[in-house]
């Protein structure tokens, strides 16, 4: 039976790669859930609120400082993989571009955080904790670059092993800290935000150490960076990264750290499913970048529609999970978060299909301006809607704004893409 299954998977490489990547992603989700459960049970809701905010900032900025590099890698690496010299030059110049810019912005963030904290976040954290957050941002940027490079050239098994080996080490340390009664905000940030990415980075570099050493000798050729494509997609991702956490930031503005903790837990549960979405799009991206005809496009599009329906179903399942299950996972103390989890999950049902359109726009149309427009719409609706509706409707104002932002931006994205596709295939 197992041999028969393996033979079938060999005939369907996309399915095989997605299963491998999903397995790795689910393992990552398991570890993420484990970390959340441990931290939730040890920290007070107010402390968890601060942790959610700081880790949310790390997540947002690490994705913001992608600067469009990931899309460029998925678009180009499958096409130049056999030219090892060009491949090394491409990776080197894109890494220096990303690492240099991200370091500059992280430095500005470090010196400006005290002002931002007094004005908006109101966490009251120490400069040491801010420094740890800044270091974690830089390390996440480096880790993401290396992992996406491996995934873009279909080295899927190794990329997932690297991430989950890092998760295993983090889990062991978290258990040790818990049993030794040494878990606090700073230690959790150090383990999850610093040590974790360091382990993944070391593994990635050691695996291809010879190629890494050769790349050090290559000249930096900035002509290999398509700035119009990269920067436009950077703007799009920056807008969405900010928009996807804006609701949490607005909740932190209006409510106590305890309420932020409830909302942060809900957001953590719902956004965890995005890992499933990315694990699928990471496999599909190179296939979209190699589309040469309308027939190939329709075939890959149907494939994407089938696979991305899975995370959409997950969001619906999250809505129907009973309170008893949530109480078992998160304890009665976080019961206020269960209502937020359900309504928030409905807001993201269309998000997997929005990602399918992203693949079309980025790798077939190669026009990231469409994504920028849709994401800017999302940011405006969630920001102004939540900010002005919260004083009247409470948390429901934030959740309603989130639902409206996802729905309207999806309609706009689909409409603009369809119009562009009609003219594209007439050429």
DSSP H stretches of helix in 255-273: 257-272
For residues 354 and 361, the answer to whether their CB atoms sit within 8 Å is no
Residue 7 lies in a domain: no
C-alpha to C-alpha distances, 368 to 147, 154, 365, 409, nearest whole angstrom: 22, 24, 8, 15
State if pTM tops 0.75. no
Residue 9 lies in a domain: no
Reported as a single tens digit per residue, the pLDDT across 137-179 is 999 999 999 998 888 887 888 888 898 899 999 989 988 888 8
pLDDT at 5: 43
Residue 8 lies in a domain: no
DSSP H stretches of helix in 117-155: 127-152
Residue 2 lies in a domain: no
Q: What is the largest CA-CA distance in the chain?
A: 66
Q: Is 60 exceeded by the pLDDT of residue 8? A: no
pLDDT at 427: 59
Average pLDDT over residues 242-255: 83
The model's confidence at residue 43, banded by pLDDT at 50, 70 and 90, is confident
Residue 29 lies in a domain: yes
Structural domains in the chain (count)? 1
Residue 71 lies in a domain: yes
Reported as a single tens digit per residue, the pLDDT across 318-327 is 899 888 888 8
Rounded to whole angstroms, how far apart are CA atoms 128 and 130?
A: 5
Structure tokens at 256: 């106590």
Q: Is 90 exceeded by the pLDDT of residue 104? A: yes
Q: Is 90 exceeded by the pLDDT of residue 81? A: no
Domain around 145: 14-424
Residue 52 lies in a domain: yes
Residue 1 lies in a domain: no
Reported as a single tens digit per residue, the pLDDT across 320-350 is 988 888 888 787 888 888 888 888 899 899 9
């Amino acid at each position: 039976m197992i041999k028969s299954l393996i033979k079938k998977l060999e005939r369907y490489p996309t399915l095989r790669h997605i299963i491998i990547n999903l397995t790795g992603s689910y393992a990552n989700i398991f570890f993420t859930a484990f970390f959340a459960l441990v931290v939730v049970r040890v920290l007070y809701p107010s402390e968890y609120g601060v942790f959610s905010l700081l880790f949310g900032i790390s997540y947002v900025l690490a994705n913001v400082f992608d600067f469009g590099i990931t899309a460029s890698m998925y678009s180009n690496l499958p096409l130049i993989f056999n030219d090892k010299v060009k491949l090394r030059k491409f990776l080197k110049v894109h890494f220096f571009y990303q690492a240099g810019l991200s370091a500059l912005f992280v430095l500005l963030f470090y010196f400006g955080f005290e002002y931002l904290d007094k004005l908006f976040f109101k966490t009251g954290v120490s400069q040491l904790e801010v420094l740890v957050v800044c270091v974690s941002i830089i390390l996440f940027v480096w880790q993401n670059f290396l992992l996406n490079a491996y995934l873009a050239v279909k080295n899927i098994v190794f990329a997932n092993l690297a991430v989950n080996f890092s998760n295993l080490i983090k889990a062991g340390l978290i258990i040790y800290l818990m049993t030794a009664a040494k878990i606090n905000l700073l230690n959790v940030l150090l383990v999850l935000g610093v040590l974790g990415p360091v382990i993944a980075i070391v593994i990635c570099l050691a695996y291809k150490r010879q190629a890494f050493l050769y790349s050090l000798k290559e000249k930096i050729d900035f002509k290999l960076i398509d700035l119009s494509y990269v920067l436009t997609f950077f703007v799009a991702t920056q807008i969405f990264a900010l928009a996807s956490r804006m609701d949490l930031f607005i909740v932190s503005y209006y409510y106590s750290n305890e309420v932020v903790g409830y909302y942060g837990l809900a957001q953590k549960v719902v956004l965890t499913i995005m890992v499933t979405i990315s694990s699928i799009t990471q496999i599909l991206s190179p296939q979209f970048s190699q589309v040469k005809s309308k027939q190939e496009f329709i075939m890959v599009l149907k494939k994407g529609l089938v696979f991305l329906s899975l995370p959409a179903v997950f969001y619906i399942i999250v809505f129907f999970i009973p309170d008893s299950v949530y109480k078992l996972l998160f304890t009665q103390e976080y019961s206020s978060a269960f209502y937020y989890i359900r309504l928030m999950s409905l807001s993201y049902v269309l998000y997997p299909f929005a990602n399918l359109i992203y693949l079309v726009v980025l790798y077939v149309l190669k026009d990231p301006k469409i994504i920028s427009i849709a994401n800017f719409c999302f940011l405006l609706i969630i920001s102004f809607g939540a900010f002005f509706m919260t004083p009247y409707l409470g948390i429901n104002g934030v959740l309603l704004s989130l639902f409206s932002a996802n729905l309207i931006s999806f309609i706009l994205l689909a409409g603009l893409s369809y119009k562009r596709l009609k003219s594209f295939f007439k050429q």
